[in-house]
Amino acid sequence: MDITAKRDHDGQYILEMGPVFFELPLESLELLHKLVGERLGNHATADMDGLNKKLNAYRALASKLVSMDDRVLQKLVTQLTPEQLVTMVRLADGERLFHKVIRNLSRQNGQQFQQDYHDLNKITVHQASLYMEQAVPMIRQAAQEQKALMGQS
């Protein structure tokens, strides 16, 4: 729904919301503007706090993947989309996961991953959260395979 505010010929403000019109004095319009701004600001702050908390959890998860067995990691990286893989590697601490992923890909796939890593350098916080949410089930499966492998050793 589009909301517009205009002045009529008498100088009164007219607030238009779809087919509905309100004539409001300037003070009311200013208070309404302030109220909407505060409400939107509060939700944005709460959303960002929750998103940062999620991202920190994903960061810890990605950092743990450095200790994953190479065979399990090879299988995992082939299941992930380029965006998911780049996001996961970018979230991990340092460059150890980057080098481990390169080491566990074929030469051609490694070059493609490096190109994707270079090209996908503007992933937003929201995109990163979405990509990691999509990747978590595959990471869980890889973690179960890692546990089974550790149990066999």
Question: Tokens at residue 71, please?
Answer: 């065979």
pLDDT digits 0-9 by tens, 141-152: 999 999 998 887
Q: Exposed e or buried b for every residue in 114-141, given b needs 16+ CB within 10 A? A: eeebeebeebeeeebbebbeebeeebee
Domain spanning 48-152, CATH architecture: Orthogonal Bundle (1.10)
Residue 22 has pLDDT above 80, yes or no: no
- The average pLDDT across 121-145 equals 94
pLDDT, mean of residues 1-24: 74
| CA–CA gap between residue 91 and residue 17 (Å, rounded) | 43
Q: According to DSSP H, which parts of 17-124 are helical?
A: 26-64, 70-79, 82-91, 96-103, 107-119
In the chain, where the domains are located: 48-152
Under a CB-based contact definition with an 8 Å cutoff, are residues 86 and 115 in contact?
Answer: no
Distance between CA atoms of residues 2 and 19, nearest Å:
10
pLDDT band at 153 (very low <50, low <70, confident <90, very high): low
What are the tens digits of pLDDT across the range 30-67?
A: 888 888 888 777 766 777 888 889 999 999 999 999 99
Using one digit for the tens of pLDDT, what is the confidence trace for 84-118?
999 999 999 999 999 999 999 999 999 999 999 99
Cα–Cα distance for residue pair 21/55, rounded to 1 Å = 43
